[in-house]
Amino acid sequence: MVDAAVPPGTQTLARGLAVIRAVAGGATDLRTVVERTGLGRSTAHRLVQLLVRESYLRSGRGGYTLGPTLIELGFQALHGNPLPVVARPVLEELSAQLRDTVHLAVRDGASVLYLDKLPGSRGAEMRSRIGHRMPLTRTGVGMALLLDAEPDWPARYRADAPVEPDRVHPDHLEAFLARMREYAESGVAMDLEDNEPGIRCVAAPIRDAVGAIAGAISVSATRPYMPAARMRGLAGVVARAAQQISAGLGHRGD
């Protein structure tokens, strides 16, 4: 839906962005765009026509899809960020060494945003993909991104829970907080099938020149390839890889 509190003079821009988000979220026809944005049919139609003309959207047999202009801008944004460039050789080394899926992600507001993914050569394919967003507290990289934000842990857990925030069981919240305190102490976070059944991962934060968490990496695999003993063994491997990337960003700490 279009946010009613957008700054004055930007309503048209906000509506156009809402249309793009609707298509990115799977709206392939005008009716669905109208339903998801709350725009009038004629307004939505005019915006879609403009976005197709400027190649922000495509219109074909399968309906609306994102267009080449967004792909071009996305690659420009990705390569304008030094993190993926610095991290890529380390990710490739991890992938070759471990044969598991390797991710690079950053925090984008209340979500994890995946910047890179090298699929593993064994086990099931994971639903994560570059540009995909996931809840912070339900992914290994997300928890790694939150290690310095202890005051935010309860609110983030409640926001990401599949039930209403005020219905989160206190015992479940306390168990999560205990895990996070342990992860903050060790500097490594673990996804114990929190996000996808049967998928486990080990993650560590990447720090920039001033020591702030700038991103996170993870190594993920299906349960048969990621028993508890192997997860503990990978903690140091993933942490060292994250430290190597951090050094490339100018970080000089441990």
CA distance 92 to 100: 11
What is the reported pLDDT for 49? 93
CA distance 208 to 106: 12
Judge if pTM exceeds 0.85.
Answer: no
pLDDT in tens, 163-211: 776 677 888 999 999 999 999 999 999 999 988 889 999 999 999 988 9
Of 254, 248, 251, nearest to 83 by C-alpha is 248
Of 202, 222, 138, nearest to 172 by C-alpha is 138
Which contiguous run of DSSP H or E holds residue 113? strand 111-118
- What pLDDT band is residue 60 in, cutting at 50, 70 and 90? confident
- Do the Cβ atoms of 102 and 217 come closer than 8 Å? yes
- What pLDDT band is residue 56 in, cutting at 50, 70 and 90? very high
pLDDT higher than threshold 70 for residue 116: yes
Residues facing residue 238 across a β-bridge: none
> What domains can be seen in the chain, in order of their start residue?
11-73 (1.10.10.10), 81-248 (3.30.450.40)
> Which comes out higher in pLDDT, residue 253 or 224?
224
The mean pLDDT of 83-108, rounded to a whole number, is 93
- Do the Cβ atoms of 146 and 154 come closer than 8 Å? no
